[in-house]
Amino acid sequence: MLQGKNAIITGSTSGIGLGIARQLAKTGINVAINSYTDSQEDHKLAEDITQEFGVKAAFFSADMSKADACVSLVEQATESLGPISILVNNAGIQFVAPVEEFPPQKWDAILAINLSSVFHTTRAAVPGMKAFGWGRIINISSAHGLTASPFKSAYVAAKHGVVGFTKSVALELAEKNITCNAVCPGYVMTPLVESQIPEQMKAHNMDRETVIREVMLARQPTKDFATTEQIGDIVAFLCSDAAAQITGTPLSVDGGWTAL
Pairwise CA distance, residues 134 & 239, whole Å: 10
Pairwise CA distance, residues 60 & 62, whole Å: 6
Pairwise CA distance, residues 145 & 155, whole Å: 9
Which residues, 6 or more positions from 79, have their beta carbon under 8 angstroms from its beta carbon? none
Which residues, 6 or more positions from 70, have their beta carbon under 8 angstroms from its beta carbon? 62, 64, 117, 120, 121, 124
Give the CA dihedral 231, 236, 239, 240, nearest 10 degrees. -130
155 is catalytic: yes
Give the CA dihedral 57, 6, 9, 12, nearest 10 degrees. -10
C-alpha of 127 from chain center: 21
Catalytic residue among 53, 59, 60, 155: 155
188-189 and 226-227 strand pairing? parallel
Give the CA dihedral 72, 73, 77, 78, nearest 10 degrees. -40
Residues recognised as catalytic: 155
